[in-house]
Structure 1
Amino acid sequence: MTKGEGKTTTLARARKAVDGRRERSRSSHRRIVEAMMELIANGDLMPSAARVAEEAGIGLRTVFRHFDDMDSLYAEISATITERVMPIVTAPYQGTDWRDNLRDLARRRVRVFETMLPFRLAANIKRYQSPFLMGQYGQVVTLERELVLRLLPPDILARRTTAEALCAALSFQSWRALRHDQSLSAEEAGTVTAHMVEALIAMVPDQKP
């Protein structure tokens, strides 16, 4: 083997070693994210590093190394949850009347909010310590509100009290209160939400032809 060939082989081995370390780091990161999501979904809203290490099957030191960048972990959890719920959120509405579409939205929010519930409860605990979670909180609340308002015709939007009441009835805060504070089942909370929406719709008089 020539000197040049030896140098090339050494560089190749060095690159392979670096690539191996990077892949192990990425694998550990994925396992930490998956472990955190599993623990949160099962009710541990503030999983400790030791619990995450046990769930992920990796060393505690590795978890601490990745926990130094909590926002990146939260970002990955958020991206995973978003991927799950966006097909429900973005599906086209089939109704020809705003009332029917609003009822459809209420049914969708039962599925979306129930999927998000443990993760948003966990994020709410941590958002005052995380710039990422605080910024995301504002974005999600704004989006939830806009998805309601865009279904309402101009004459309903002009009824600000009714529009705001619909936004409140269909908000995650309302769902959290029903499920978490009032201890209703998902089915019961969905029924209450539908009842609130129907009551608000009934307050709007039919337009004269």
Structure 2
Amino acid sequence: MTADLQPASTLREQKKNDARTKIADAVIQMMADGRTDISHDVVAEVTGISRRTVYRHFADREALFSGASTRVRELAGNRVTFPSSEKDLLDTAAIYEGFDRIAPIVTLVRSTPQGRAMRKSQKLERQESYRAATADAVKDLPEPDRTLATAMLQVLHTTPWLEMRDHWDLNGEQIARATAWAIRTLLNDLRTRKGKPLDQ
């Protein structure tokens, strides 16, 4: 279907999505440029999108960062999402090979204050997702051990990429193999410890 034959609602939705993407890409680029003055006004100036439209898509600075974080995951690949199950947790190949595809952006996100602020903008969503994905495995543990185990599994699911790439010269496929093994090992341990605290 050509653009002039598409329903007006479809064209409006496409225009809206294009604006959101342009805004998120601009935030990522400003972070890459080392800018610390990221705001709705600056984004409007850089993109040529009106300040009002920027606010309509992203209500505050945290929402701007959250939109950029979502965009990074989109660029890495459609399987690079927050997990909802143990199966998702074990699909580390999608995560780490996706990170390799956009290595400069992921390095920025993982190693700069702006990138960390961007990741923190989705902290609650991330926690809820990992709690749901690990709920069955940690259900017999006392608190705070449930939280400790869940946090460790989350770290293994996404965090080692930069360290293992920089310090061991490993690629995404290799990192995925190592982290999947570590996650499987921890999940197996959680199932066999029958609720014993993590330090026993």
TM-score computed with the length of structure 2 as normaliser: 0.48
Structure whose alpha-carbon radius of gyration is higher? 1
Give the structure, 1 or 2, with the largest relative contact order (CA under 8 Å, sep 6 or more): 2
TM-score computed with the length of structure 1 as normaliser: 0.46
